[in-house]
Amino acid sequence: TTMMMMIRFSLPKLATLLLLLLGSSSWLLSTARAQETTPEEEVQGALSGALTNLKTKYDGLDNKGKAVVGTAVGFVATRIVLKSALSAIKVGVIAVILAEVLDRTGILDVEETAEKLQEMGVVQKLKQFSGQAVSGFKAQVHRRLNPSNWQEIMDKEKVATLGMAGGVVLACLF
């Protein structure tokens, strides 16, 4: 709980620092007037102001600048996704190896453990929970990543889209 309190108290400071770096002083003035906001509202306001500032700067770029931004975004996003996927694969492989070693040495009896979990209803609860979590995640992805919106953006920003594709290729190669 102490860590959570530190995170809560540091989020507004982090948002303020981000806004100062991006040069958005209008949000700071509105926050100073409205002292009764929660830290979550302050962060949301900070991000909104920062994104608006970034959008205006992006709109002012020429085609080469937009291609470079697209390349950087594609490269960084692909690196994050690849690192996350590889980490998940590593954790899965380690779990399988540990389970095999524990089973072969007799420390863990897999069949007996599976029967006990089945009797307690843990397996059914896990299936139900994971099904609900996956359905919720799928709905959120469909809502936020609406393909028609992305097609419109890609048609409008063809140079940035081409740059993003190049960034993806670079991230996969290096």
Neighbour tally for 22: CB within 10 Å = 17
Distance of alpha carbon 164 from alpha carbon 166, whole angstroms: 5
Tens of pLDDT, residue by residue, the chain (174 residues): 444 444 444 545 555 544 444 444 444 445 544 556 677 777 677 777 777 888 888 889 999 999 999 999 999 999 999 999 999 999 999 998 998 888 888 887 777 777 777 778 877 888 888 888 888 888 888 777 777 777 888 888 899 999 999 999 999 998
Indicate the SS3 state at residue 8: helix
